Structure 1
Amino acid sequence: MINRRTLLAGAATATGATALGAATLGSSTASAEPATQHAAPKGRYRIDLHAHFLPPEYRSALIEHGHFTIGGYPTPTWSPEADLAFADYYGIAARVLAVSDPGVSFLAGKEANDLARYCNTYAAGLIKRHPKRFGSFAVLPMPDVAASIAELAYALDVLHLDGVTLLSAYDGVYLGDPRYEPLMVELNRRSAYVFVHPAAIPDSAKPKLPVPDFLAEFTFDTTRAAIMMMTTGVLNRYPNIRFQLSHAGGTLPFLTHRIGVASQTAVGRFGLPKISLLDVQSQVAGMYYDTALSAAPTAMNSVLAATSRDHIVFGSDWPFSALVLDQHGDHDPAPGLSQTFTSEQRLEIERRNPLKQLPRLKAAIGK
């Protein structure tokens, strides 16, 4: 079993060395801003691929089970009306909704299955009422792999949702672990789009720091999941799965070279396959990276060093980003992007790239 404790032990040196850099990646300003601030495109054009929702019964279940915060952020309220108002204000044409951490993994058995079905059916209803304004990534009743495969089939074949959401780990077991192999086989067969969202770390597996998980630990956990999928060969075995990594991939772009070098030493002691530097670079470049809470040049330039611009997609992280976005009154949800990208390049990142990955939504919206 490769769990949080095992992987954390092997990554301790790298995590310590990069914690300050990771915090910088998530900041809203750069220490050395470029001379030119490009103009943002006008109109309601954005396609939001890091968009959360909390339908009523789901939020009630969270609160009932003590989830008053998510990653240290107060569990927000949500409604379709507030969602549309937010999107209209910030020039967002459509939001592809996803359940955030902890998914439905705080339940088990029939309760988890029923809550996943409720969330997915709720999303499908929104799409039916507003086909040009909403899409959705299905939540699965993980870590129950058999039940998740069944819900995946229902969500994609019956409800016609746009993809699925997976957390970086479930019960301390990361994506890439062999027990998830049957699900990966099915996702690959379907050429599924998979939104990977970080999960909160158990208190027993993380240092005691006076900051909430969503500020730093979330970025590290996305990185751990991506490293696991590379070192266990998931990305090579299942090339049809398109993985989107939250928050600009966490610290993965920064660590790309280091992971390739370290694969011959530290990673090898876990009995995992040794991956070359070139293989690491190729696998990192093949995933997709969203801009949620990561629009600053420090983050975007790191992503551009690891992959091409056509692998960057827009994400708002709303309503979990509400406290941040409410500070901006200029109708631009990611003003930092204009410090790195021109208006035309922002159109590519915020609209064209997302629509290329989601044919149902593209057909509904048009050009």
Structure 2
Amino acid sequence: MRPAGPIDVHHHAYPPALTAALRDLGVTELAPGVPLPDWKPDDSLRLLDRAGLAAAVLSAPLPDAAFARRSGPLVRAVNEGTAGLAEDRPGRFGALACLPLDDPDGTLLEIGFALDVLGMDGVVLPASLPDGRTLADLSLVPVFDELDRRGAVALVHPNPSVACRCAGPSVPPSLVDFALDTTRAVAGLVFGGTLRRCPRVRLIVAHAGGAVPYLARRFALAGTWVLAGDVHATPEAVDAALHGLYYDTAQSESPGVLECLREVTDDSHILTGTDFPFMTDEVILAAGFRSPGPDGAAGLFPRLAR
């Protein structure tokens, strides 16, 4: 029987066919120190039951090597596979679509195919592109406009191959650079005006938004000095933009982080995330991942809430 718990919005699916395709591209790690997982759907179902989670929304962020050649066929295969997992286990799995952001026209076609034909629940977006540009890049304006037209859900996840190495060679990028990748993306979307232009896109930002909760006050002050006169940088505009985002708790469930988040948004926008299978059962169970209030994910993923 399905548990009556919250929905896990940050949960990854890398079935054997996908890991084999990545190995054919020379990929053995999704990121330095993060090997390709040995994942099976039953592993996720076991975790959901043990943790008292109702369902998981599956996503498979791809490393840059997947986009070194024409990425459309691989992305299509990933989306068909992820959608199939959700179809086979209704009520337990949702599915987010990968997009070939290296091909803006192909991305628009894939959004339509994934949401209209495959019936997927939204998309997953890398926080940055292979050359380091963020989601605020002008080439992605049509992508966000289409997501806004659809009122789509999008999970902003660090690029597994994040180009920034801010913390230096001795620090694995997953420890610091992943969080900064998301932070840079959110800052660009706020101050570049994307969030104001596209209010119907429902963005979930991974890992509690990286450093966003801690920097929220600094962001809100931008219009008083470095961005004086910018309509997107007034304290009211910044506060509204950050409040409207959804934040998952993957690797970020500590009381201090949650306290920061509550200064930025309300409990309905703080969502459960596990980062399975990269976080183990033991880590997840010890952390006790839970949305702190009514599960806001139910409104984002209605077929999993029924």
Q: TM-score normalised to the size of structure 2?
A: 0.91
Q: Please give the root-mean-square deviation of Cα atoms over the aligned residues, in Å.
A: 2.4
Alignment equivalent of 1:307, drawn from 248, 265, 288: 265
Alignment partner, residue 326 of structure 1:
282
Alignment partner of 1:185 is 2:128: no
Alignment partner, residue 141 of structure 1:
100
- Tell me: CA distance 1:46–1:103, structure 2 relative to 1, closer, same or farther (3 Å): farther
Alignment partner, residue 262 of structure 1:
222
1:267 positional shift = 5.6
**SS class of match (2:174):** coil
* Structure 2 CA distance for aligned equivalents of residues 183 and 238 of structure 1: 11
Alignment partner, residue 102 of structure 1:
63
Alignment partner, residue 117 of structure 1:
76
* Structure 2 CA distance for aligned equivalents of residues 288 and 117 of structure 1: 27
- Tell me: CA distance 1:282–1:327, structure 2 relative to 1, closer, same or farther (3 Å): closer
1:207 positional shift = 4.0
* Structure 2 CA distance for aligned equivalents of residues 319 and 51 of structure 1: 7
- Tell me: CA distance 1:49–1:126, structure 2 relative to 1, closer, same or farther (3 Å): same
* Structure 2 CA distance for aligned equivalents of residues 166 and 127 of structure 1: 19
1:337 positional shift = 5.6
What is the identity, as a one-letter code, of the residue corresponding to 2:39?
A: W
Alignment partner of 1:65 is 2:25: yes
> Would the aligned equivalents of 1:105 and 1:143 in 2 still touch at CA under 8 Å?
no
| Greater gyration radius | 1
**SS class of match (1:92):** coil
> Would the aligned equivalents of 2:6 and 2:53 in 1 still touch at CA under 8 Å?
yes
Structure 2: gaps of 5 or more residues:
none
**SS class of match (1:220):** helix
1:202 positional shift = 2.4
* Structure 1 CA distance for aligned equivalents of residues 196 and 203 of structure 2: 12
1:265 positional shift = 4.2
* Structure 1 CA distance for aligned equivalents of residues 238 and 36 of structure 2: 36
Alignment partner of 1:275 is 2:224: no
* Structure 1 CA distance for aligned equivalents of residues 227 and 40 of structure 2: 45
> Would the aligned equivalents of 1:259 and 1:280 in 2 still touch at CA under 8 Å?
yes
1:63 positional shift = 2.5
Alignment partner, residue 249 of structure 1:
209
Alignment equivalent of 2:88, drawn from 129, 135, 138: 129
> Would the aligned equivalents of 1:95 and 1:135 in 2 still touch at CA under 8 Å?
yes
What is the identity, as a one-letter code, of the residue corresponding to 1:302?
A: C
What is the identity, as a one-letter code, of the residue corresponding to 1:127?
A: A
* Structure 2 CA distance for aligned equivalents of residues 198 and 267 of structure 1: 26
What is the identity, as a one-letter code, of the residue corresponding to 1:153?
A: G
* Structure 2 CA distance for aligned equivalents of residues 358 and 55 of structure 1: 23
1:263 positional shift = 4.3
Alignment partner of 1:45 is 2:1: no
- Tell me: CA distance 1:103–1:48, structure 2 relative to 1, closer, same or farther (3 Å): farther
**SS class of match (1:96):** strand
Alignment partner, residue 181 of structure 2:
221
Identity %: 34
Which of the pair has the greater relative contact order for Cα pairs under 8 Å at 6+ separation?
1
> Would the aligned equivalents of 1:243 and 1:288 in 2 still touch at CA under 8 Å?
yes
Q: Deviations over 1:118-163 (max 9, x none)?
A: 1111122112211111100101111211101101100000110000
Equivalent residues, number: 302
* Structure 2 CA distance for aligned equivalents of residues 240 and 361 of structure 1: 20
Alignment partner, residue 190 of structure 2:
230
Q: TM-score normalised to the size of structure 1?
A: 0.76
* Structure 1 CA distance for aligned equivalents of residues 37 and 56 of structure 2: 17
* Structure 2 CA distance for aligned equivalents of residues 308 and 121 of structure 1: 35
Alignment partner of 1:83 is 2:44: yes
Q: Deviations over 1:223-258 (max 9, x none)?
A: 100000011100000000010000011110111111
